[in-house]
Structure 1
C-alpha cells in the first residue's frame, strides 16, 4: 500500500515519502504563486485554485496569505470565502459545503501525530478528515481539529478550539468548544 493511500485512509504513513513530498512541493508552489497575486488578477487566482483544490463547485474567494499541505484533498461548495491567514493541513479530506465563511487566521488541521514520543520522533503521522456543512461561519483565530464534522448552519465563535463534532444549527465557542446557543433558521 502506498504512503498516499495510507494517508488518505487514516493509517500511519511516512510523510517523507517521495510522492507525498512532491505533492506538498506542488501545493507550496501554487500557494506561493496565489499569495503573490493581486485582487485585480481574478482569473489567475481562479485558475490557481482550480489546479490546487480537489474540487470547487462555484464562486470562491480566498484572501492571501493562504497555505495548505496538499490542496487536492480540499473540496468546497459554492460561495466559499476565506479571510486572511488561513492554514488548512489537508492530509485527509477537508470538505466544505456551500455558503461557508472562514474568518482571519483560522487553522483547520487534519494532521495527527502519535502520542508515544518514540513513535512520534520516528516521523510517522496519521490524519482524520474534517467535514464542514452548508452555511457555516468560522470566526477568526478558531481552530478545527482532526476528525471534526460540523453540521449545517454552525457558527464557530472567534478563538474557539473545536475538538469534537457538532450537529446542525448551533453556535459553539470556547476551549474546548461547547454549544453556546441554538441558531434560529426561520425568518
Structure 2
C-alpha cells in the first residue's frame, strides 16, 4: 500500500519551468485577475482582452468573456477566434491550454491541466496540456482533466468529466464521460 507523505512533496522543477513567470509577475497577475477578470465589474470585453494579452495570453478575434472567469496563468493560454467563455469558468492552466476557434465553455466549466500522482508517496505534481479543437462545446460545470484533447466539434455534457480524449463530433456524458451519440447537423 502507498501512503502519502506531503513533507516529501517538492515542485521546484515546476517553479523553475517555462510554465511560470516569477513571483512578482504572478502576484501582479493574481491581483489583476481578481479585480478585472474574476469579478462582477461590468468591464467591456476589450479591456479584459488587453489585460490578458499584457500578461502573455495569445487571443484571437471576437472572444466573449463573462464575469467571474478565473485564469491561473495567462502566459499558458492560447484562444482562437469567436470563443465564448461563460460565467464562473475556471481555466486552471498550470500547463498549456489551447482553445481553437468557435469553442464554447459554458458556465462553471473547469479545465485542469495539473494533477497529482496519488501512486507516489511524495504526491508529485503532474502537468499536461489541454487542447480544445475547433467547435468544441464544454457544458455547464463539466470538467476537462489533465492531458485531455477534445477533438473537433466534440461535446462534453453538463456535469460530465473528461479524463480521456474525446473523439471528433462525439457527444460525451457522465463521470467518467462516455460516448452517448454523434453530433449531427439539425434537420429542421
Question: Please, what TM-score do these two structures have when normalized by structure 1?
Answer: 0.82
- 1:99-138 pair list within 5 angstroms: 99-116=102-119, 118-120=121-123, 124-138=124-138
Report the alpha carbon displacement of residue 115 of structure 1 after superposing the two structures with TM.
1.2
* SS of corresponding position for 1:171: strand
Q: Counterpart in 1 of 2:27?
A: 25
In the alignment, structure 2 segments of 5+ residues that lack a partner are 1-11
Deviations for 1:52-94, whole angstroms, at most 9, x for unmatched residues? 4520121111112111221110110000111111111111110
- Is residue 180 of structure 1 aligned with residue 180 of structure 2? yes
Q: Deviations over 1:132-165 (max 9, x none)?
A: 0101111101010000001111111000011000
- Could you tell me which of 70, 81, 98 is aligned with 1:67? 70
Could you list the runs of 5+ residues in structure 1 that have no partner in the other structure? Answer: 9-14
The answer to whether residue 107 in structure 2 is matched with residue 79 in structure 1 is: no
Moved over 6 A (4+): none
SS at match of 1:72: helix
Equivalences for 1:18-57 in 2 at 5 Å? 20-34=22-36, 35-36=38-39, 38-39=41-42, 41-57=44-60
Aligned to 1:145: 145
- Tell me the TM-score normalized by structure 2: 0.82
Corresponding pairs, count: 175
**What is the CA RMSD across the aligned residues, in angstroms?**
2.5
C-alpha separation in 1, matches of 2:157 and 2:171: 7
